[in-house]
Amino acid sequence: MFVARRSFLTIGGGLAGAVLLRVPAEASEPSSSPVPSTPDTPYMPDIPDMPEMPPMLEELEPPAALVVEDVPPAPESARPPIPRPPRIYLRNEWEARPPTSRAVVLDRVPDKLIVHHTATPNRGETSLEAAFRLSRAIQRYHMRHNGWDDIGEQFTISRGGHVMEGRNHTMRAIRRWRHVVGAQTAEHNRHTLGIETEGTYMDDLPPQRAMDALTRLLTWLCWHYELEPSVAIIGHRDLNATSCPGDRLYQHLPALREEVARRLDRGYGAHYSRGYRLAVPHWGPLPGPAHWHDHGPALGPHEGIR
């Protein structure tokens, strides 16, 4: 159960000589910190302790009617190598605006990783600056148009394969084996983590660089949170009536789960114990995007967050 915590600390310490980022307090965003190194540089942000916030730290009852599939833990010597996380650009790097209130952090881990598309054009621009502009545009839309406190998703992946932190406190929560509540899958935000992949994938898959980044991010998150890829990686349409993440990307999810499992196992049997299977609902015809950024219901009326 606590292997990932120990291993996480190990990788942090092991990379002490590599690129480490100091994350300023949210109040100081945006900052002009330089963008370090290359997109492939492995790194673990050196994040100062999170301030106390007892009113927002809540325990959540496990979802009802689950089929829990426990698998006995593997012996320490048989565990596969630690997967390298992708380079994750933090909020100060893409110059996020400060949230209107601090994110809710739950003392639990997410049990589902939700793949989304952003319902924006499949553009050819792949630069880092284009990726940062995308995150700023999504945040602007979520705060101004939707009236939310911050950007909704926990991660955004650009067409160029750049990975950006989304909602404030996402990386700090992950490092502490907690869950920051986003606004990305209605009525399920308290137990799911959302990854928005730039584009609209009804007919096409994301570009290879974006697929690579998505696979690496999912692999790292499954390893860190001890999630079983075959049941943890799902599409937005598995939980809400929406075509997100697009027919084509949704059809590709079984192959994506298989690839993540392959990277985690390295010839060793599955030992990631956290997981339950969803009974996939029958929604009927699924609505597609009505406009940019419309990837489906992202926030339920009774979730108590914005």
Residues that bind Zn ion (CB under 5 A): 116, 236, 244, 295-296
Nearer to Zn ion by C-beta: 4 or 244?
244
Nearer to Zn ion by C-beta: 177 or 292?
292
Nearest CA among 172, 205, 180, 297 for reference residue 243? 297
Nearer to Zn ion by C-beta: 159 or 295?
295
Find the shortest distance in angstroms from Cβ 117 to Zn ion. 7
Q: Would you call 215 helix, strand, or coil by DSSP? A: helix
Find the shortest distance in angstroms from Cβ 248 to Zn ion. 14
Find the shortest distance in angstroms from Cβ 27 to Zn ion. 30
Sign of CA dihedral 143, 293, 118, 110: positive
Find the shortest distance in angstroms from Cβ 162 to Zn ion. 19
| Ramachandran area for residue 296 (φ above 0: left; ψ -120 to 50: alpha; else beta) | left
- Dig out the tokens for 182 from the structure: 């986003």
Report the length, in residues, of the chain: 306
Nearer to Zn ion by C-beta: 274 or 295?
295
Find the shortest distance in angstroms from Cβ 294 to Zn ion. 9
Find the shortest distance in angstroms from Cβ 196 to Zn ion. 7
Distance of alpha carbon 223 from alpha carbon 220, whole angstroms: 5
Distance of alpha carbon 142 from alpha carbon 113, whole angstroms: 20
> Which strand (E) or helix (H) includes residue 114?
strand 112-117
Q: Which residue has the tokens 């900052």?
A: 31
- CB-CB contact of 185 with 114 (8 Å): yes
Nearer to Zn ion by C-beta: 224 or 293?
293
For residue 119, give every residue at least 6 positions away whose Cβ sits within 8 Å of its Cβ, in sequence order, or none: 200, 244, 289, 291, 292, 293, 294, 295
Nearer to Zn ion by C-beta: 86 or 296?
296
